[in-house]
Every structure is written in structure tokens, then in C-alpha cells.
């Protein structure tokens, strides 16, 4: 996990412009480099490093003696770099996983390169010999990337939007900044004056398709057919492999543990894999909540069962409310459910950074979207519509859960790893017949639960524990986090402000006082940038006025049982 920043064709003083790069310093607390491009005085790279692999030679932009015309700045982890190196017999100059991008590009061009990367990444690749700039981002947008480009060919890219919003350019007083789409790469021509022109934007991978790099990986051979025992066996093989490949780091690994199904499966599998890899330190797991929180109790059960060194972080409503401003600044969004769920994750990341030496953190993000884990999936009209909705949620992860997971951890110099979004695991899951993936017997994620039924990985009551939104599970059932927040904002936003909301915020007009309050904070930090969020996250197929799972009838009946 690092912070990347690059400019092409700047017409302002670079030493002034580079101050913007310092806005993402939290992403790489270990080292910083700012480097101009030979022959292009108005082009430069900025890089903040979190040293996770190869502490000695991991600085960027990566330059190799063999390819003096290539410059690479990337944020991410390429899990199959050793496999690719061995298969194609590349001579490596460093031990950095990202070096594989340069070798693959030299061998087969940008499209083949990006399709062969098994990992999470956002990159800027400059080829001064062929006068090209390439931008690329992983399938689900696990690693963030933003860009700004003007009509006269000035290009700026950065891991977070906050590193671009204050940039100056002569042709525009307001630089339009937008997220770079996941699963895409862009080709741009580099002109002699350092400006660029976009040639093409290509969608290189759909989450349903088996990735090209599957041809080269060493996963046990999967069994054909959709017989239930075959499918369960294949899922266990792929999930184990998804966790195992993510052990790649020179830093200590920890795990977030909410006590829900997803984080519990990740923590249990991770601990097993660490033992098999003969890692000497104990796995530390971390849970956060208020007094009487169901998440804390459930996480404690799981930690006792798997034998992790467990830590509980307590916070009160005042601390949560006080964190809202810095959370929204970190997130760069005002989406209601994202902000709610981010407070706990932000505070626990802060605790991990301050009190432990864990740097790489595993988590269960992506499972709800992939395995139809949201409670509203019970209301899906058909398995086919549920499948369509699952894929929509996966496409939009970069606006919601993946955004939250990255920004809340990166704000404290931590790197998050999310095995459920592994390319092989997710594409196989999505290839299964739609009716296999829907909720069954009133229980969401039935197939995933069934897959691990006989494994004794986690306690049975956790394996079959109903869905609890992270933003709700951290507080007691009697007083949900969303209710605490709504009671607080009731005194911050009055009825007159709400009456004028459409006039003040014509785009994505907030419908509630809570939404209005978050939007106010967002506009204070990022005025005029509301279009970074295309729409609010809300459940489908039900007439919901609030995104909290606890407002849904299914949840209410489950808690009474």
C-alpha cells in the first residue's frame, strides 16, 4: 500500500505543484520521492512508500537498467510475480513484485500485461521510447486511482482525489477530478511538450470471466460440474489459495474480526495458513464496538475458537461523532452508509497503528456483494435478478465498501488485503448457477456457510449467524449507531435547512438530516465535488428510507426469534 502521484504537461511551477503530493503522505509513511522525467521538464512522479516487500530496493518510480525508457509508479501487490518470473524466465533486478509489470510490458504490450497480473493495483507506466503513458486499475478497484485531464493535454493522477484538487492549471480555474474506472486501462500519447492525448480506454476484465493469469497459477485442479459437493470442494480450494497468496509481505500480518461470517472465515483461514507457513509470531485479531455490542461478543467467541491473540477496542458515541469530520475527509465521500460504517474501521485502524506493529491487515470486504449477503437479497424477484444485482454491487464496490476499506486503513498507514475479491475465487463463484447463490431457508450466503459446515474452522453459531451491518453490529441492538447519529444531527440540522436542501445541493440532494450533515462536511473539504458519488447506496426491491439492515423487517423478525 503506497501513494502514487504523477503530472504530465504541467504549465505551473513543479516545486509548487508537488505540495499537492504531500496530501497523501499518510499512504506511505516509510519514504518519499519526487522525481522529474528526463527530457520532459514538466512531467514528474511523486511516491509515498509503505515498505511491505523488498525494503532495500522498493522505491519508485521503478527504473531498470534493461529498460531505461520505462518509468513505473504503482500502488498494490502482484501476488503471482514469482510465478510469472519463473514461467517467462525474466531476469529480476530487485525483489519488488511490481517489477513484473515492466518485464511483461516489454514482452507483450499493455493489454497482455494487465491481464496477467493477479493482484490489486493502480499504476502509471511511462514509455518514453514509444511516447506513451498507460494508466491501469484492478478489476474491483481495491487500490484507488483518480485522474484529472484538461482539454490542452495536462494530465494529473493520484491515489486519492485530495492530492489533485488544489492543483493549478492555466486553462481552467477548476480542475475536474474523477475516479479512474476499475477493470480498465487507458492508453495516452505523450507529446514532445509533455502534454498527453487519450488514445483509448479499454475494459480488460469482467468479474464473471476467469482471468487470463489462471492459466499460469498453481491452484489444485478444480473438479468440473455443479454438483453441490464438487462446488463446495472447489470453493474451499480457491478460498484457501486466496488467503495463502496474500501472505506475501516482509511486515507483520493482523486481521480485523467483527465476529460476522466473512471476517471470521478470513481470520480462521489466515491463522491456519500462517501456521503452515511457519510464521513465528501469533496472529493478532482486532474487534471494535461500544459496550454491549454483538460484534464484540461474537468476535471473542471466534478468537477463542481459533486461538488468536485478540484485542477489543471500545469507543463511545462521543468519540464516534468527533471522528466524523476526519473520516469524511479521508473517505472523499458523503454516502450515508459508507460514512456510518467507516467510523469504527477508522478508529480501529488508528488503534492498530498506534499500539501494534501490524502493517498488513486482512479483512472480509467484498463477500456481501459476491455471495449476496445483504438482507434485501431475500426479496429478490428471481435468482437471475439477484445475480444481476450482485454483479452491479461488485462493479460499484470502488464507490462504497472498497473505498471505505482502503481509505480508513490507508489514513493510518496500513495495507488492507481482501481475499473474497480474489480473481479466481470471485469469478468461479459468479460462474455458478444463479439458483445456487441465492438465500435459502431464510438464510443469506447459504452456499458459503454450507461450504465450511464440516470444516470446524469457526463456531457453528457464528457460521450461521445472520447478517449484521458493521455500522450496526458495533453498537447494542437497543441503541443502533445509526440512531445515535440521527439523534446527534437532529440538533445540528434544522427544518429550514432541510427545506432549502434542494436549492443548496441540487445534485444528490440529501433526504435526511443525517445526509445533510455529512454533505455539509464533505462540501467544506471538497467544494463542488459532489459528483464523485454518482448515487447513494440503498437496498433494492424494498421501499427503504434508510440503508441500515436494522430497519428491515427481516432483521426485526430475526432479532425477536
Q: In whole angstroms, what is the distance from residue 363 CA to residue 53 CA?
A: 20
Tally of helices (H runs) and strands (E runs) in the chain: 21, 17
**Contact (Cβ atoms closer than 8 angstroms) between residue 24 and residue 64:** no
pLDDT at 558: 43
Q: In whole angstroms, what is the distance from residue 388 CA to residue 209 CA?
A: 15
Q: Residue 390 burial by CB count (10 A; 0-12/13-18/19+): exposed, middle or buried?
A: buried
pLDDT at 345: 97
pTM value? Answer: 0.94
Q: Which regions in the chain score pLDDT beneath 70?
A: 1, 56, 468-478, 545, 548-561
pLDDT at 560: 35
* Alpha helices (runs of H) in 81-209, residue ranges in sequence order: 81-88, 99-115
Q: In whole angstroms, what is the distance from residue 299 CA to residue 347 CA?
A: 17
Q: Which of 539, 525, 531 shows the shortest CA–CA distance to 505? A: 531
| pLDDT one-digit tens code per residue, 364-396 | 999 999 999 999 999 999 999 999 999 999 999
Q: In whole angstroms, what is the distance from residue 386 CA to residue 433 CA?
A: 11
pLDDT at 51: 79
pLDDT at 556: 44
Q: Which one from 2, 43, 158, 207 is the annotated catalytic residue?
A: 2
**Which strands sit side by side in the sheet containing 62-64, from one edge to the other?**
62-64, 67-78, 119-127, 132-137, 184-190, 196-203
Reported as type and span, the H/E element at residue 434 is helix 434-437
Q: In whole angstroms, what is the distance from residue 401 CA to residue 271 CA?
A: 24
Altogether, the residues listed in the chain come to a count of 561
Q: Establish whether 115 is a catalytic residue.
A: no
Q: In whole angstroms, what is the distance from residue 77 CA to residue 74 CA?
A: 9
Q: In whole angstroms, what is the distance from residue 129 CA to residue 365 CA?
A: 40
Phi, psi of 452 (to 5 degrees): -105, 15
| pLDDT one-digit tens code per residue, 307-348 | 999 999 999 999 999 999 999 999 999 999 999 999 999 999
pLDDT at 77: 96
**Contact (Cβ atoms closer than 8 angstroms) between residue 14 and residue 158:** no
CB proximity list for 314: less than 8 A, separation 6 or greater: 288, 289, 290, 291
Amino acid at each position: 500500500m503506497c501513494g502514487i502521484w504523477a503530472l504530465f504537461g504541467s504549465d505551473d511551477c513543479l516545486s509548487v505543484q508537488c505540495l499537492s503530493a504531500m496530501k497523501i503522505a499518510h499512504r506511505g509513511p516509510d519514504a518519499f520521492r519526487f522525481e522529474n522525467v528526463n527530457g520532459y521538464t514538466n512531467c514528474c512522479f511523486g511516491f509515498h512508500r509503505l515498505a511491505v516487500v523488498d525494503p532495500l530496493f522498493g522505491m519508485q518510480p521503478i527504473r531498470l537498467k534493461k529498460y531505461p525508457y520505462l518509468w513505473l509508479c504503482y500502488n498494490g501487490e502482484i501476488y503471482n510475480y514469482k510465478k510469472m518470473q519463473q514461467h517467462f524466465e525474466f531476469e529480476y533486478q530487485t525483489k519488488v513484485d511490481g517489477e513484473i509489470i515492466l518485464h511483461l510490458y516489454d514482452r507483450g504490450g499493455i493489454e497482455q500485461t494487465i491481464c496477467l497480473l493477479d493482484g490489486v493495483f493502480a499504476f502509471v507506466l511511462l514509455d518514453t521510447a514509444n511516447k506513451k503513458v498507460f494508466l491501469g486499475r484492478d478489476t474491483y478497484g481495491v487500490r484507488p486511482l483518480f485522474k484529472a485531464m484538461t482539454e490542452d493535454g495536462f494530465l494529473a493522477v493520484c491515489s486519492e482525489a485530495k492530492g489533485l484538487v488544489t492543483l493549478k492549471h492555466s486553462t481552467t480555474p477548476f480542475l475536474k477530478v474523477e475516479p479512474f474506472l476499475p477493470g480498465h486501462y487507458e492508453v495516452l500519447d505523450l507529446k514532445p511538450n509533455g502534454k498527453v492525448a487519450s488514445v483509448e480506454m479499454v475494459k480488460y476484465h469482467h468479474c464473471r470471466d476467469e482471468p487470463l493469469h489462471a492459466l499460469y497459477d498453481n491452484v489444485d485442479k478444480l473438479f468440473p460440474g455443479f454438483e453441490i459437493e464438487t462446488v463446495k470442494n472447489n470453493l474451499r480450494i480457491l478460498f484457501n489459495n486466496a488467503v495463502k497468496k496474500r501472505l506475501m509481505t516482509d511486515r507483520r500480518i493482523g486481521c480485523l474480526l467483527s465476529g460476522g461470517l466473512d471476517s471470521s472465515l478470513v481470520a480462521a483461514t489466515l491463522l491456519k495458513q500462517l501456521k503452515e507457513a511457519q510464521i513465528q509470531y501469533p496472529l493478532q485479531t482486532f474487534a471494535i464496538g461500544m459496550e454491549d455490542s454483538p460484534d464484540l461478543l461474537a468476535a471473542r467467541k471466534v478468537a477463542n475458537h481459533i486461538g488468536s491473540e485478540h484485542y477489543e477496542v471500545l469507543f463511545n458515541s462521543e468519540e464516534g461523532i468527533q471522528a466524523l469530520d476526519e473520516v469524511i475527509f479521508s473517505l472523499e465521500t458523503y454516502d450515508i452508509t459508507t460514512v456510518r460504517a467507516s467510523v469504527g474501521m477508522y478508529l480501529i485502524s488508528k488503534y492498530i497503528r498506534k499500539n501494534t506493529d501490524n502493517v498488513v491487515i486482512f479483512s472480509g470486504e467484498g463477500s456481501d456483494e459476491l455471495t449476496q449477503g445483504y438482507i434485501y437479497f431475500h426479496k429478490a424477484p428471481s435468482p437471475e435478478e439477484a445475480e444481476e444485482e450482485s454483479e452491479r454491487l461488485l462493479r460499484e464496490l470502488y464507490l462504497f465498501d472498497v473505498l471505505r476499506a482502503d481509505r480508513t486503513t490507508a489514513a493510518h498507514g496500513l495495507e488492507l488485503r481482501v481475499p473474497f475479491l480474489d480473481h479466481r475465487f470471485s469469478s468461479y463463484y459468479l460462474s455458478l448457477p444463479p439458483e445456487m447463490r441465492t438465500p435459502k431457508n431464510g438464510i443469506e450466503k447459504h452456499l458459503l456457510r454450507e461450504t465450511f459446515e464440516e470444516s470446524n474452522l469457526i463456531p457453528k453459531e457464528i457460521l450461521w449467524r445472520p447478517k449484521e451491518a458493521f455500522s450496526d453490529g458495533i453498537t447494542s441492538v437497543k441503541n443502533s449507531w445509526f440512531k445515535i447519529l440521527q439523534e446527534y444531527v437532529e440538533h445540528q440540522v434544522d427544518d429550514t435547512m432541510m427545506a432549502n436542501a434542494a436549492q443548496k445541493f441540487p445534485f444528490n440532494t440529501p433526504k435526511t438530516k443525517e445526509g445533510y450533515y455529512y454533505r455539509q462536511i464533505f462540501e467544506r473539504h471538497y467544494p463542488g465535488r459532489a459528483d464523485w458519488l454518482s448515487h447513494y447506496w440503498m437496498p433494492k426491491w424494498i421501499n427503504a428510507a434508510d440503508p441500515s439492515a436494522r430497519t428491515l423487517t427481516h432483521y426485526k423478525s430475526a432479532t425477536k426469534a
